[in-house]
Amino acid sequence: MILNIIWFILIATLFTGFFVLEGFDYGVGILTPFLGRTDEQRRLIINTIGPFWDANEVWLITAGGAMFAAFPNWYATLFSGFYIAFFLLLVALIVRAVAFEFRSKISNPRWRTTWDWLLFGGSVLPPFLWGVAVANFMSGVPIDSNMNYVGTFWNLITPFSIMGGLSLLLLSTLHGALYLSLRTFGEMQERARETARRIGVLASLVMFLFAVLSFYNTDLFSKIGINPGAVPVLAAMTLLSVPFFIHAKRDGWAFLMTTMTIVFSSITVFLQMFPRVMISSLNPEWSLTIYNAASGPYSLRVMTIITVCVLPFVLAYQAWTYWVFRHRLRPGGHMDY
């Protein structure tokens, strides 16, 4: 059964990496129409994530593939139950990708402004929908004894799930603003830093409310008691430290703190769910776990061997990409996205 735990940890790691890397991607897309006051400035903003955005989305594809291979019942129940939500997510991602590719094909200002706002819409919807999904993972959804989702799309929309969507949306926007402060100079850097300062207050407040609501809408309280443990506390501490680093103009440290906030928050969610992967709100005994939703031992063993051989090269390549494109950008003289 150790392989079941290993693959649960691997999938949790992939989703965490996706939220960290694609989080600032989404934030940059959200902020593009607001921080970029001229076409040149908006091109500069988009260029900061030009070499990374598509590779960052691979983390999501890999997580979905790992889920399909290691826990097929989890994959089947999740994608059938969240079908409409994931369809909307897919549409947003397609619009976002097309906006990156099409905005600079024509120099007409109206054409580029239209794609900038489509980029905004395609960047707002995914983190909100993922936040809604995560909140439903925590609180549970109607799953019957046959591992079938028996609710509707509207069962996923609750005050708790909406608060989860807003939390991830604001955290991603804050993450993106700090990323821009790391990748730009002068006026744009100051504008991104000031935006991060303002959004940070709102993000902290909304995430605090979401944490409070989680004690009433999930079994987190019954699992960990009054003492939340080190991981949730670290998530709160790293988020609360962000304004101090912004004030000190330590952009790298501020970005690291939002990164750790996402990491510790993700770990908290997966720890709360373990060993479950989808919680049934109808009957706890009907929840999907890493045992009843898993593939056979032979399949898990073969996939583990392949992953151990291939994963280091993938991680090394992406790390190399970030290293090559690590420098700050100035207007002009860069690839036009």
The 10s digit of each residue's pLDDT in 120-129 is 999 999 999 9
- Per-position DSSP letters for 158-208, written without gaps between them: -HHHHHHHHHHHHHHHHHHHHHHHHHB-HHHHHHHHHHHHHHHHHHHHHHH
* Average pLDDT of every residue of the chain: 90
Domain assignment present for 28 = yes
Domain assignment present for 335 = no
Distance CA 335, CA 47 (A): 7
pLDDT at 332 over 80: no
pLDDT at 27 over 70: yes
Whether 193 and 219 have beta carbons less than 8 Å apart is answered as: no
Domain assignment present for 172 = yes
Domain assignment present for 334 = no
pLDDT at 335 over 90: no
**What is the pLDDT averaged over residues 7-31?**
94
pLDDT band at 337 (very low <50, low <70, confident <90, very high): very low
Whether 172 and 140 have beta carbons less than 8 Å apart is answered as: no
pLDDT per residue as tens digits for the range 164-219 = 999 999 999 999 999 999 999 888 999 999 999 999 999 999 999 998 898 888 88
pLDDT at 256 over 80: yes
pLDDT at 114 over 90: yes
Domain assignment present for 332 = no
* pLDDT value of position 314: 85
Domain assignment present for 244 = yes
CA–CA–CA angle 266, 58, 131 (5° rounding): 35
Distance CA 83, CA 89 (A): 10
Domain assignment present for 337 = no
Whether 53 and 98 have beta carbons less than 8 Å apart is answered as: no
- Tokens coding 262: 């996402």
Give the ranges where the chain is alpha helix by DSSP (H).
2-35, 39-49, 53-70, 72-81, 83-102, 109-139, 159-183, 186-217, 220-224, 230-247, 251-273, 297-324
Q: What range does the domain containing 126 cover?
A: 1-325
Domain assignment present for 333 = no
Whether 203 and 239 have beta carbons less than 8 Å apart is answered as: yes
pLDDT band at 105 (very low <50, low <70, confident <90, very high): confident
* pLDDT value of position 180: 94
pLDDT at 51 over 90: no
pLDDT per residue as tens digits for the range 39-49 = 889 999 999 99
User: How large a percentage of the chain has pLDDT more than 70?
Assistant: 96
pLDDT at 224 over 80: no
Tally of structural domains, the chain: 1
